[in-house]
Structure 1
Amino acid sequence: MFNKLADIKTKLSDVLSMLRKLVCIGEVSIVDAQLRRVKVTFPGLRYPESDWLPVLGMRSKSVSISCNLEVGEQVLCLFIPSGSMMSGYVLGSMANKSAKPYIANVDKFGVQFKDGTLLEYDQSTQTGVLKIGGGTPAITVSPEKVLIDAKLEVTGATELFDTLKVAKATTLMDTLTGMKTATFTGLVGAAGYGSNTGGAAVMSSGAILQGSVTINGVTVAVISHTHNDAEGRPTSTANQ
């Protein structure tokens, strides 16, 4: 009788031990980034290091997602069907006092990397942000505009279907061609192209100027006047 009770107690103890091991909180000890799997230890528990455990992810075939866990990261593990550390899965990482979400805002969804790089969307303002290293270069996209805080280099053809406003100096390394009127309110210099100091500026379709023209420091004035012909009659207006 007592032997049977002892056997039942032992079996119940084994069952309880298996149940305790079904779901465990551990820490990542080794990462295999190629197969998206990890080994896990269980600080404070007398459990051995686990075997390789697959980490559950969103996609794995035609759409591939790379998002590896880090050594020391706290994770929740499921060991089925028997609670054996040889067969199980990592369900995901867990936030704790030393590893909190980078921001406590229910309207913001994003990823912040170890170097400070941030990719974030705020659904309350409909604004998306990309910041490299947490600072610049940075791109902010909102319903009103797109703000780029960085040096910008475009290697392909670019078309603008609205006005272009340039706040500082603009340098052209090649030809500027216009199909309509160009209006300037400040000083315009046209040095042309040459190998040393620049060549002559050429305008093939004429020029309309209002105001004075200075050539080599000498102001050129245009004065309208008339002459009389051989019979004393005034000629049409001439320019000098």
Structure 2
Amino acid sequence: MSNVLKNIVRVGRVSSIDPERATVRVAFEDKSGLVSYDLPVLVQQTLKNKDYCMPDPGEHVVCLFLPNGIAQGFCLGAFYSATDTPPVSNAKKRHVSFEDGTTIEYDRETSTLTINTVGAVNITGATGDVIVNGISLVNHIHPESIGSATGKPQ
């Protein structure tokens, strides 16, 4: 019985990914590098709303297997370690850091969403407006100007 339980939850490193199928293969160092079959990666939603995020090759992950070996199971996700540390240490923040340095962070304490990107930002909508400091991008007016630069939006 203990051998069965010992093999149900396993820690390993992602050896390869299949982005189209959202699966990974995982190598288990404690089993001389034995590699799993393709394992589906758990995500938050897959039906009406869909979430997608794949672990990187080399990333430490936790896997859950059915009691019949490592042929059928799931990749539950990655975890932080002494070498791969959290990017923030504040329980009130939701933070995502990307490889290129881009970050997205929401602070529940201050109700502030911060996006820092090294690339372009594209926001597309059928209708809408952007309002900053009470000034509408769509409906603002400029003081009249005849032949010179306009004043600030009002």
- One-letter code aligned to 2:20: Q
Question: Could you say which structure has the higher strand fraction?
Answer: 2
| 1:68-83 correspondence runs (5 A) | 68-82=54-68
Identity of aligned residues (%): 30
What 5-or-longer segments of structure 1 have no aligned partner? 1-14, 138-144, 148-156, 165-180, 191-240
**Aligned-partner Cα distance in 2 for 1:58–1:75:** 16
Q: CA deviation at 1:189?
A: 4.7
TM-score, with normalisation over the residues of structure 2?
A: 0.76
Task: After superposition, give the CA deviation of every residue in 1:102-128 in whole Å (9 maximum; x if it has no partner).
Answer: 111111112111111111111111111
Partner of 1:159: 139
Q: Which has the higher contact order (CA 8 A, sep 6+)?
A: 2
Cα offsets for 1:35-86 (capped at 9, x unmatched): 111000011333621001111111112222221110011111111133x011
The one of 12, 18, 42 aligned to 2:4: 18
TM-score normalized by the length of structure 1: 0.51
Runs of 4 or more, structure 1, over 6 Å off, are none
Structure with bigger gyration radius: 1
Q: 1:130 aligns with which of 115, 118, 126?
A: 115
Q: Any idea what SS the aligned residue of 1:17 has?
A: helix
Amino acid at match of 1:104: S
| 1:40 to 2:26 alignment | yes
1:121 corresponding residue in structure 2: 106
1:61 aligns with: 47
The verdict on how the C-alpha distance between 1:110 and 1:146 changes in structure 2, with shifts beyond 3 A counting, is farther
Q: Report the counterpart of residue 86 of structure 2 in structure 1.
A: 101
- Give the Cα separation in 2 of the matches to 1:111 and 1:91: 18
Larger helix percent: 1
- Report the aligned-residue RMSD: 2.6
